[in-house]
Amino acid sequence: MTGELSPIDKAKFVAAKRAVEFVEDGMRVGLGTGSTAAWMVRCLGELVREHGLRVTGIPTSTRTAELARNVGIKVVSLDEAKWLDLTIDGADEFDGDLNLIKGGGGALLQEKIVATASDQMVVIADAAKGVDTLGAFPLPVEVIPFGWQTSKALIEEMVASLDVMGSQTALRMNGDTPYITDEGNYIIDLHLKRIGNARQLAMVLNQVPGVVENGLFIDICDRVVIGYGDGRVETRDINNGTVEESLIEFVESDNLFRDI
């Protein structure tokens, strides 16, 4: 099982395993979307099934909701939960201030709504996701389908005047057709290479007509849990200014690793 995992998957697994330690009995927990978040959902499901942990999960996508139900986590909508104790999610990039780029999995809108409706957000990631400056990963921007080409042109015009290194944009595709989010929208990926002022960019992007939300998560993340392929885990807390290191042992688990 674990012997078949790549170093990256091992890193994601140990980060997820450490992150679910922040979940307490009775919590309402936002469940992120993506490959790293999927490990977290499986780890949390194991705690529910085998240790009797009582949690309510609020998923950020239909695929996360399906996985959560499959592993035994009670799932409700954000409208039912109203407010959350904690959200655990992955990230495509994070910087030293724990600002993020998210949305590679196409769920940035629901992810941002759920994260901002939580007392705390914990991000889980492998070490390769850490950067000095955001922007190497393409920045997703969710737009409504109506007039998307106009929105794309306005975004390109706006980006050209800001402190970024690149300006290429592309409509995200799913084969021969546009990728459709859970909310029925399109995603335009901005290949900026380097974002000099992420806060400014996030604010300006959301002023463009047709833009629903962007993938910059500024001042939302409280902790980042960084996994390594050898089982080491580093936890950075932006509020307390602390860095903790630990080691997660790999344990074979048919229930956790099935269908990987």
List, for residues 61-75, the tens digit of each pLDDT value: 999 999 999 999 999
pLDDT tens for 75-98 read: 999 999 999 999 999 999 999 999
Residues 110 and 20 placed together within one structural domain of the fold? yes
Task: Identify whether residues 33 and 116 lie together within a single domain.
Answer: yes
Confirm whether residue 222 is marked as ligand binding: no
Q: Are 189 and 233 members of one domain?
A: no
Is 129 annotated in some ligand binding site?
yes
Considering the domain architecture, whether residues 125 and 152 belong to the same structural domain is answered as no
Pick the closest to residue 205 from 91, 101, 93, 98 (CA basis).
101
Asked whether 142 and 186 are in contact (CB, 8 A), the reply is yes
Q: pTM value?
A: 0.94
* Together in a domain, 40 and 100: yes
pLDDT at 53: 98
Q: What is the CATH number of the domain that holds 201?
A: 3.30.70.260
Number of domains within the chain? 2
Residue 96 among known ligand-binding residues = no
| pLDDT, tens only, 103-133 | 999 999 999 999 999 999 999 999 999 999 9
Quick one: 111 and 83 in the same domain?
yes
Residue 208 pLDDT > 80: yes
| 60 and 112 together in one domain | yes
Where in the sequence numbering do the catalytic residues fall? 111
**152 in a labelled binding site:** no
Same domain, 227 and 177: no
Whether 105 and 55 share a structural domain: yes
What is the side-by-side order of every strand in the sheet holding 242-247? 74-75, 56-59, 28-31, 86-89, 121-126, 223-227, 232-237, 242-247
Domain assignment of residue 188, given as a range: 139-213
